[in-house]
């Protein structure tokens, strides 16, 4: 048997490497297309339009996050919200503005700090009327706030939530028998050089001397440590709350001691061993004993 010799494969040509700059165009080939000038002009014009729209948006559009509106805008809004809450409480309760809480150092972003502002108002009423008062306050607030209340099945939790706009929220509820406390919060905002929450629009108001007069009526001398808070009422004007502490515990019922300074048309809101409060017109007065100290609080306005 004969064996065929192995077949020879044809040689393989080495791959051709293009010269620097690429292969030359074959003879007679059309030139490479160039971008049309009108496309370049349209693209440049569209970029200008986008820049203009972005500038106008930052100037006129409503903020979409709270970081876009600084404390110079959020602070006055919180002030007006407090006035709305006081007015919503009505004329048959005693309202009290609580001290402002302004804190710096919160983080807007990992590299940007800001400040938070909280303002509060407390309402004094009877223990039985507190849940119904919370509902009335929610009903009297602007509809755009979408205020709502929640009452637990056991009747132990009564709360209120509302959105006052521009990321300013209202939270609170019944915090103790006959007491409703509501807090207005701005969240963390950029600080503003032209906003100072400690600045008051007026000093030496008549309300400033009223707490001392109430303490004197029950035989207590006012001590240092008093203060005042103010807010803007919905219909104009302001609501002011002033307070002053005094040492010791006054003897006898506070109602009897305050009879000499209490107006004839005053309506007693609370009369308990630890506190006495009445409302007369747009003025609310409370004298309360806390930890061996007497505190008189007077609110006028709204």
The span from the CA of 145 to the CA of 163, in Å, is 5
The span from the CA of 282 to the CA of 20, in Å, is 92
Q: Is the pLDDT of residue 28 over 80?
A: no
Note the pLDDT tens digit of each residue in 36-46: 666 666 666 77
Note the pLDDT tens digit of each residue in 261-301: 999 999 999 998 888 999 999 999 999 988 888 999 999 98
The predicted structure's pLDDT at residue 158: 96
Note the pLDDT tens digit of each residue in 120-179: 999 999 999 999 999 999 999 999 999 999 999 888 899 999 999 999 999 999 999 999
| DSSP class of 287 | E
The predicted structure's pLDDT at residue 197: 81
Q: Is the pLDDT of residue 57 over 90?
A: no
Q: CB neighbours (10 Å) of residue 189?
A: 25
pLDDT classification of 5: cutoffs 50, 70, 90: low
The span from the CA of 186 to the CA of 79, in Å, is 11
Can you name the residues that pair with 6 across neighbouring β-strands? none
| DSSP class of 234 | T
């Amino acid at each position: 048997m004969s064996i065929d010799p192995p077949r020879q494969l044809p040689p393989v040509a080495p791959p051709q490497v293009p010269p620097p700059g690429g292969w030359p165009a074959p003879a007679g080939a059309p030139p490479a297309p160039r971008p049309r000038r009108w496309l370049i002009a349209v693209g440049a014009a569209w970029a200008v339009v986008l820049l203009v729209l972005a500038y106008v948006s930052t100037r006129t559009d409503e903020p979409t996050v709270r970081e876009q509106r600084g404390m110079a805008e959020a602070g006055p809004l919180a002030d007006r919200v407090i006035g709305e809450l006081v007015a919503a409480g009505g004329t048959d309760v005693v309202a009290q503005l609580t001290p402002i809480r302004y804190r710096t150092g919160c983080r807007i972003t990992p590299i940007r700090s800001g400040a938070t502002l909280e303002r509060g108002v407390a309402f004094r009423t009877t223990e039985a009327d507190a849940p119904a008062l919370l509902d009335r306050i929610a009903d009297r607030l602007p509809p755009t706030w979408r205020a709502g209340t929640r009452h637990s099945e056991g009747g132990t939790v009564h709360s209120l939530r509302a959105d006052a706009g521009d990321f300013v929220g209202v939270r609170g509820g019944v915090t103790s028998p006959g007491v409703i406390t509501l807090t207005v919060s701005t969240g963390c905002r950029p600080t503003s050089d032209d906003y100072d929450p400690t600045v008051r629009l007026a000093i030496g108001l008549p309300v400033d001397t009223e707490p001392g007069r109430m303490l004197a009526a029950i035989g207590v001398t006012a001590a240092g440590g008093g203060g005042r808070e103010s807010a803007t009422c919905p219909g104009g004007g302001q609501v002011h709350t002033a307070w002053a502490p005094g040492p010791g515990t006054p003897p006898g019922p506070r109602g009897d001691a305050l009879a000499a300074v209490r107006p004839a048309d005053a309506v007693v809101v609370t009369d308990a061993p630890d506190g006495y409060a009445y409302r007369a017109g747009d003025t609310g007065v409370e004298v309360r004993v806390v930890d061996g100290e007497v505190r008189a609080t007077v609110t006028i306005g709204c």
